[in-house]
Amino acid sequence: MAPLLVITGPTAAGKSQVALQVALRLAGEIVSADSVQVYRGLDIGTAKASPEERALVPHHLLDIADPHQNYTAADFQRDARKEISGILSRGRVPILVGGTGLYIRALLRGFAFSEAGEDAGLRRKLYEEAQLHGPEVLHKRLAAIDPVSASGIHPHDLRRQLRALEVFAQSRRPISGQSSRTAGTSGYDALMFVLNRPREQLYQRIEQRVEKMLAKGLVEEVKALLGSGVSAECKAMQSLGYRQLVACLQGMMTLPEAVELIKRDTRRYAKRQLTWFRSEPEAVWIDLEKAGIDGAVENICAATGRSFQAERE
């Protein structure tokens, strides 16, 4: 099977910094596993790799979709396979980096996704219902037909509820069933590392990161996206950080309120990420407070060298 290095973990842990150094050491190329970094124009709020970083190490699956597009895990699975194949053909090490657990699992486990596409009419009807009665109504409906999906979707996460209900309406099968209908194997011999920090330190880094994004012009980025015609309701603009600032710009809350909401929701997202990654039995966890960036890089490079050498033999 093809070797694949995976570096993941909660937001703001330090994945990108470690991955860049690992890629330089191993002659690797980075494939982003981030569901929002795929969108053009969403740069500051996604902590996208800078032009300088991309000049040092090739990065793939960044800026490949317009903000109005509905880029899915199935799209990622297809595109990531293509990029990884290209990296391997060049004799370099593919390094999957990001915190979108579903994307990583879809690739590593070879999920067989529903072929049902987007039903704009159905989505509009469900969205209007949610606006009239509240998203909790849709969440209760989802729980009745697909309790597995409902248990993993927050009652206010309207976007994911809409997709789950849409898939069921089109196929009469729950979207959660996609994970069990796999292609059998992904074709990768993956070595996964989860980078983490103590909770208080992680939360402090999240708050600092939000403040840094605002200082770099996140509000102006959101204004520019809306001004260019990107809808506030599209998937990209419902992403963490963007949806709160959209609400602020629409007069639904003040900027300080939006900032506090971004910080709170990002902390909650990090907690959900950690819960997700704990269900990956083969993952190797690294505490970045104890190991440090340099120590984490050394550990990952050493383990990768041993694993990939064994694969060649």
Q: Are residues 191 and 260 in the same domain?
A: yes
> What is the number of structural domains in the chain?
2
Which pLDDT value is given to residue 301?
A: 96
Q: Are residues 81 and 196 in the same domain?
A: yes
Of 139, 159, 179, at which residue does a domain stop?
179
Residues 24-66: tens digit of each pLDDT: 999 999 999 999 999 999 999 999 999 999 999 999 999 999 9
Which sign, positive or negative, has the C-alpha torsion 64, 65, 71, 74?
Answer: negative
CA distances from 136 to 64, 112, 158, 189 (A): 33, 29, 9, 41
CATH number (domain holding residue 63): 3.40.50.300
Q: Are residues 144 and 264 in the same domain?
A: no
Sorting pLDDT into bands at 50, 70 and 90, what band is 313? very low
Instruction: Output the average pLDDT for the chain.
Output: 90
CATH number (domain holding residue 164): 1.10.20.140
Least trusted range by pLDDT, from 75-79, 145-149, 189-193, 308-312? 308-312
Of 164, 179, 194, at which residue does a domain stop?
179
Q: Are 206 and 212 in contact (CB under 8 A)?
A: no
In angstroms, what is the C-alpha Rg of the chain?
20
Q: Are residues 169 and 192 in the same domain?
A: no
Which residue's structure tokens are 């509009």? 124
CB atoms within 10 A of CB 182: 13
CA distances from 75 to 35, 38, 128 (A): 10, 11, 27
Q: Are residues 126 and 208 in the same domain?
A: no
Q: Are residues 147 and 264 in the same domain?
A: no
Least trusted range by pLDDT, from 85-99, 116-130, 157-171? 116-130
Q: Are residues 127 and 272 in the same domain?
A: no
Query: Which among 201, 192, 194, 193 is positioned nearest to 267, based on CA atoms?
Result: 201
Residue 202: which region, alpha, beta or left (left: phi > 0; alpha: psi -120 to 50)? alpha
Which pLDDT value is given to residue 150?
A: 84
pLDDT above 80: residue 180: no
Q: Are residues 7 and 52 in the same domain?
A: yes
pLDDT above 80: residue 195: yes
Sorting pLDDT into bands at 50, 70 and 90, what band is 158? confident
Residues 233-254: tens digit of each pLDDT: 999 999 999 999 999 999 999 9
Q: Are residues 151 and 235 in the same domain?
A: no
Structural domain harbouring 275: 2-112+182-312
Which pLDDT value is given to residue 85?
A: 97
Distance CA 188, CA 87 (A): 13
Which pLDDT value is given to residue 55?
A: 97
Q: Are residues 106 and 200 in the same domain?
A: yes
Residue predicted with more confidence, 302 or 169: 302
Query: Which among 158, 172, 151 is positioned nearest to 123, based on CA atoms?
Result: 158
Q: Are residues 223 and 168 in the same domain?
A: no
> Average pLDDT of 155-176?
78
pLDDT above 70: residue 101: yes
pLDDT above 90: residue 127: no
Q: Are residues 50 and 73 in the same domain?
A: yes
Of 179, 213, 229, at which residue does a domain stop?
179
